[in-house]
Amino acid sequence: MKLREVAEHVQRHALKHPPSDQPIPLAVDGLSIFRQENCTTFEAMLYQPVVCLILQGSKESVIGDRTVTYGTGDSLVVSHDVPVVARVTEASAEKPYLAVILELDLGLIRSLDEEIGAVAPEEGGALSLAVSASDDALIDAFGRCIALADRPLEAAALAPLIIREIHFRLLTAPHGAMLRRLRWRDSHASRVQTAVSHIRQNYKSGLTVADLAKLAGMSTSSFHEHFKSVTATTPLQYQKHLRLMEAKRLLSEGNHAVSAVAYEIGYESLNQFSREYARKFGASPRKDLTRLSASG
């Protein structure tokens, strides 16, 4: 299946749903689509491990001091949960930004170790956010997966096989270097992933870099270095990002006081919470509470 055919399938599925700024899940586990008719401003978010095939339009993501741009025909591989700011840079009502997104499965990646064992490991250059032009085989696999979204019986039997194929193709692709490192449980990439998972599960609690390093089985200095090389932030800044993203989500519900949100996500000082929230999102939590609850 060609890129244009996949885009037409995604457009058809997207138009069955009301406009949304969130991905639309399909009837294939882990598969979703995204449609955006307007360019957007930068917004802070957390990217989870996914591969995103861009079918139309373009987008820009900033991780640390690195800007990643990707457009029609590119695929973006995200190997870890990483904080970014991102915006759609090319979209219109006539030609919307279109993308298909597949959640990556660490267990599946590791199960393919024997099949890709001949692929030589890289000495450097592995990035947690990596982009490359998609080859025809990857595009075709995505197209076949999308085509199953309307056929639940076939999807149950065939989608797991196609999803495994997509993982295999990414592991052998130029932008799959960090995924290749995740195959090994004792690699720095996997050890950082262990710490990331722990922070995500315990972000409201007090965490120390020393304890996280011990959990990852690394010295404190080595852990700090490798964590920042993967996530482009420090462990405690990462925790802060998770807290503030959760705060924004709670405020958008419109039924939580600012002080209640601050304490819910682990802040002991309301002033510190308000200061860090405003620095992160460009508006105080009180102003955001009014704006987000109104738009919601």
CA distance 226 to 218: 10
Closest CA to 147 of 2, 295, 293: 2
Buried b (16+ CB within 10 A) or exposed e, 61-75: bbbeeeebebbbebb
Sequence letter at residue 18 = P
pLDDT surpassing 90 at residue 289: no
pLDDT surpassing 70 at residue 119: no
Please tell me whether residue 185 adopts helix, strand or coil conformation: coil
Q: What is the second-level CATH architecture of the domain 3-182? A: Sandwich (2.60)
Per the CATH hierarchy, to which homologous superfamily does domain 237-295 belong? Homeodomain-like (1.10.10.60)
% the chain with pLDDT above 90? 86
Spans of all domains in the chain = 3-182, 188-233, 237-295
pLDDT surpassing 60 at residue 134: yes
CA distance 38 to 107: 36
Residues in Cβ contact with 46 at an 8 Å cutoff, skipping those fewer than 6 apart: 81, 82, 83, 84, 241, 242, 245
Residues in Cβ contact with 136 at an 8 Å cutoff, skipping those fewer than 6 apart: 2
Shared fold status for 3-182 and 237-295? no
Closest CA to 167 of 49, 278, 284: 49
Kindly provide the residue ranges of all beta strands, DSSP E only, lying in the chain, ordered along the sequence. Answer: 24-25, 31-36, 43-47, 50-56, 58-63, 66-71, 74-78, 82-90, 97-103, 129-133
3-state secondary structure 25-94: ECCCCCEEEEEECCCCCCEEEEECCEEEEEEECEEEEEECCEEEEEECCEEEEECCCEEEEEEEEECCCC
- Residues 198-235: pLDDT tens digits? 999 999 999 999 999 999 999 999 999 999 999 999 99
- Residues 234-287: pLDDT tens digits? 999 999 999 999 999 999 888 889 999 999 999 999 999 999 999 999 899 999
Q: Which two tokens stand for residue 293?
A: 């609850």
Task: Identify the residue whose tokens are 């262990």.
Answer: 194
Q: What is the largest CA-CA distance in the chain?
A: 56
